[in-house]
């Protein structure tokens, strides 16, 4: 009993300290924000880019489709927006929906996408998300930006997951931690597409990956959909006051901390590039839930479980990520 009491006392002291952890205020280039994600995180990255296109400079998308593809329907999400057949996503209809949303001022003016740089990846062994889904995303982007701004990679024999240089499971296998060892550095490829030539990949320092309290930034509708803690990687020079760029990386379904621990935030490859190129990387974390909302796979909301505004500037999760970025110093 004494041991139990001592353990509980120690925990009661540590919890408030952890809960008080806030994001550090940094010096960030206001024109440097880029986003990326895999699977549901890819859809989330597209949603953030489109909703806040006036503030986003580019996006890297792995195994995901166009903005508002599911249109508030989980049936459509699991059908045409994943399988991509019978039918495939209707790109023209989604472009029209985006134009209507912009006219209603629920998303930014779509002219904000014109100068964006985009990197889209679809593994040739991906059986969870069909190639027509990624094709539709590329078609959506081409409605708003020049074709030369888009890099579309389809030649890697990767299954569903995030391709890495040397971490994770076999390249042609789909399983946790959804990192595929493909001898292919997706994090580096997408960051180079979004930012242009970079310094060579460096070596991340584990102590620069920090947990922070997500709930202090959450819109109330997003509270139950987020893990208590997210992560941010702050390179040494950024910590010391250098002006740095900022990137947001969204994990996929069953890839947040409640499923794979820190595998994605540590091993996807972003941090090594971040350290040598002065890029702060924000890793928000979605939570799994089985009741209100029903999200047992811990996916980001790309079909409307947080409400009908999920893909707009009023979307609960999008607002929360924007607040996180503002706390880091992006205004």
Q: Write the DSSP assignment of 155-197 as a string of letters.
A: -S---SSEEESS-SEETT---TT-EEE-S--HHHHHHHHHH-S
How confident is the model at residue 18, as a pLDDT?
Answer: 43
Choosing from 32, 36, 39, 134, the catalytic residue is 39
Contact 60, 45 (CB under 8 A): yes
How confident is the model at residue 19, as a pLDDT?
Answer: 46
pLDDT tens sequence across 190-239: 999 999 999 999 999 999 999 999 999 999 999 999 999 999 999 999 99
Largest CA distance in the chain: 68
How confident is the model at residue 6, as a pLDDT?
Answer: 35
Dist. CA 45–CA 39, nearest whole Å:
10
Choosing from 108, 116, 126, 135, the catalytic residue is 126
DSSP state of 104: T
Structural domain boundaries in the chain = 24-328
**Active site includes 224?**
no
Question: Would you write out the chain's pLDDT as a tens digit for each of its 331 residues?
Answer: 333 333 333 333 333 334 448 999 999 999 999 999 999 999 999 999 999 999 999 999 999 999 999 999 999 999 999 999 999 999 999 999 999 999 999 999 999 999 999 999 999 999 999 999 999 999 999 999 999 999 999 999 999 999 999 999 999 999 999 999 999 999 999 999 999 999 999 999 999 999 999 999 999 999 999 999 999 999 999 999 999 999 999 999 999 999 999 999 999 999 999 999 999 999 999 999 988 899 999 999 999 999 999 999 999 999 999 999 999 999 8
**How many CB atoms lie under 10 A from the CB of residue 152?**
17
> 229-233 and 245-250 as β-strands: parallel, antiparallel, unpaired?
unpaired
**Active site includes 39?**
yes
**Active site includes 40?**
no
What pTM did the predictor assign? 0.94
DSSP state of 79: T
How confident is the model at residue 291, as a pLDDT?
Answer: 85
How confident is the model at residue 331, as a pLDDT?
Answer: 86
Choosing from 32, 135, 160, 301, the catalytic residue is 160
DSSP state of 302: S
How confident is the model at residue 13, as a pLDDT?
Answer: 32
């Amino acid at each position: 009993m004494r041991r139990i009491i001592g353990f509980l006392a120690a925990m009661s002291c540590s919890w408030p300290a952890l809960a008080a952890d806030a994001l550090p205020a940094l010096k960030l280039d206001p024109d440097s924000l880029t986003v990326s994600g895999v699977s549901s995180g890819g859809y989330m990255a597209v949603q953030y880019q489109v909703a806040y296109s006036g503030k986003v400079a580019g996006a890297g998308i792995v195994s995901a489709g166009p903005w508002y593809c599911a249109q508030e329907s989980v049936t459509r999400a699991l059908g045409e927006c994943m399988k991509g057949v019978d039918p495939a996503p209707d790109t023209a209809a989604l472009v029209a929906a985006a134009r209507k949303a912009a006219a209603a001022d629920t998303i930014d003016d779509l002219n904000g996408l014109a100068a964006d740089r985009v990197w889209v990846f679809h593994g040739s062994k991906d059986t969870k998300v069909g190639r027509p889904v990624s094709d539709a995303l590329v078609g959506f982007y081409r409605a708003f930006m020049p074709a030369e701004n888009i890099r579309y990679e389809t030649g890697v024999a990767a299954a569903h997951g995030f391709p890495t240089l040397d971490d994770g499971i076999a390249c042609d296998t789909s399983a946790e931690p959804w990192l595929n060892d493909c001898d292919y550095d997706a994090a580096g490829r997408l960051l180079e597409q979004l930012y242009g030539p970079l310094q060579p990949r460096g070596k991340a320092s584990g102590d620069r990956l920090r947990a922070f309290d997500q709930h202090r930034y959450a819109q109330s509708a997003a509270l139950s959909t987020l893990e208590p803690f997210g992560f941010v990687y702050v390179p040494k020079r950024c910590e010391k006051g250098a002006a740095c760029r900022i990137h947001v990386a969204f994990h996929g379904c069953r890839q947040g901390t409640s499923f794979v621990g820190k595998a994605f935030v540590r091993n996807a490859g972003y941090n090594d590039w971040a350290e040598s190129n002065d890029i702060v990387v924000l890793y928000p974390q979605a939570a799994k839930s089985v009741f209100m909302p029903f999200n047992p796979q811990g996916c980001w909301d790309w079909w409307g479980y947080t409400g009908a505004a999920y893909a707009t500037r009023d979307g609960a999760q999008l607002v929360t990520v924007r607040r996180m970025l503002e706390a880091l110093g992006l205004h």
